[in-house]
Amino acid sequence: MIADSFGRVHDYLRISLTDNCNFRCFYCMPEEDYDFTPASRLMQPDEILTLAKIFVEQGVKKIRLTGGEPLVRKDAAEIIAELGKLPVELVITTNGTRIAEMLPTLIAAGIKSINISLDTLQPEKFFMITRRDLFHQVRSNIELLLQNKITVKINMVVMKGLNDNEIKDFIEWTKHNPVQIRFIEFMPFSGNKWTSNKLFSLDEILATVEEDFTVLPVKAAPHDTAKSFMIPGHEGSFAIISTMTAPFCSTCNRMRLTADGKLKNCLFSDGETDLLTALRNKEEILPLIKASIWSKKKELGGQLGKHFETLDADSIVNRSMITIGG
Ligand code: SAM
Ligand code: SF4
């Protein structure tokens, strides 16, 4: 069992397969020229499997693959197939561009739920956010997943003045489609030019939806990081991830392994533990994992206070989101 000093048991591991991506979402990548980590410094398939097995032996029940864009990695199929053999719930977060060609691999690995990032339903705005003209490809891949009865959750990062005016359009989408929209509060990471006035909060999102729809809360599962809601008569549902204004740290069970093999005990931790170098040096890994998680801070990596209005994003010591693995 892996636990921290606050008694939180950690049984959910998020593994970043790469910090490379075929999109350039401005809120995720640093603005300056960004060099992706060379392949030799990334965890290799056998190293990912070895580390994943250590976590699973310690009680990890769920593994999420993320990145960067996990499906741009050339050996993604091999890695997914191997992780699919472990006794865990395997899920993935993707920008949705490579779903069509990867679908047989994903299904064969037992993946039943996929989170797809989509911040707008407008092709021009999609291009503005991602710098790629692939809106229709992502939309048709979402349809493909639904046809194959795979659970689809849509991650929509809400940014004031950019896409908050589309919240109701996303809710309309849930009327005849079994998708769950996850509205995510915009978070600060290295180089993403976060300011508090771009944040559209949980309260604001909820108030916007309630202007036109009857909203009913759904009881949360034990480690949910989202507050879930339903709208009577809608096939789909929605949730709000309010990391900035109402964080979920007290029930956190998450650990993050970056693509270069560093363990982060929190999305906002200022430190990390180098598991990959230790593995390559044939050192013992488990004591490193246990010490890292034991040292986890109570809330938000100890770096973000409750008052996001006065938060100076430049004072946060962290990586960019694309190099952490969201
Ligand atoms: N490339 C994949 C994707 O886009 O889904 C997986 C990696 S991406 C870093 C994981 C999630 O983090 C995405 O849903 C993305 O929207 C979210 N994300 C990235 N930067 C963020 C930020 N600054 N605030 C909130 N969510 C963010
Ligand atoms: Fe790539 Fe996902 Fe980041 Fe967009 S959010 S740049 S798709 S990793």
pLDDT of residue 305: 66
pLDDT tens sequence across 182-228: 999 998 877 777 888 899 999 999 999 999 999 999 988 877 888 99
Min mean pLDDT across 23-32, 194-203, 276-285 is at 23-32
Q: How many CA atoms lie within 13 A of 229 on its CB side?
A: 21
pTM: 0.94
Q: Are 92 and 114 in contact (CB under 8 A)?
A: yes
Question: Where do the structural domains in the chain lie, given as residue ranges?
Answer: 12-154+248-324
Does the Cβ of 4 fall within 6 Å of ligand 1? no
Ligand located closest to 36 CA: 2
1 known member of a binding site: no
Strand ranges of the sheet holding 273-274, from the earlier edge strand across to the other edge: 216-218, 227-230, 237-241, 179-185, 151-158, 113-117, 89-94, 62-66, 12-16, 254-257, 262-264, 273-274
Q: Are 318 and 268 in contact (CB under 8 A)?
A: yes
- Classify the C-alpha dihedral 120-122-127-128 as positive or negative: negative
Residues with CB under 6 A from ligand 2: 21, 23-25, 28-29, 67-69, 95, 117, 322
Distance from the first to the final alpha carbon of the chain? 24
Q: Beta-strand (E) ranges in 187-251?
A: 216-218, 227-230, 237-241
Does the Cβ of 183 fall within 6 Å of ligand 1? no
Mean pLDDT of the chain: 92
Most informative mutation of 117, 137, 192 for ligand 2 (most atoms within 8 A of CB): 117
Architecture category of domain 12-154+248-324 in CATH:
Alpha-Beta Barrel (3.20)
CA-proximal residue: ligand 1, atom 5 (nearest)? 94
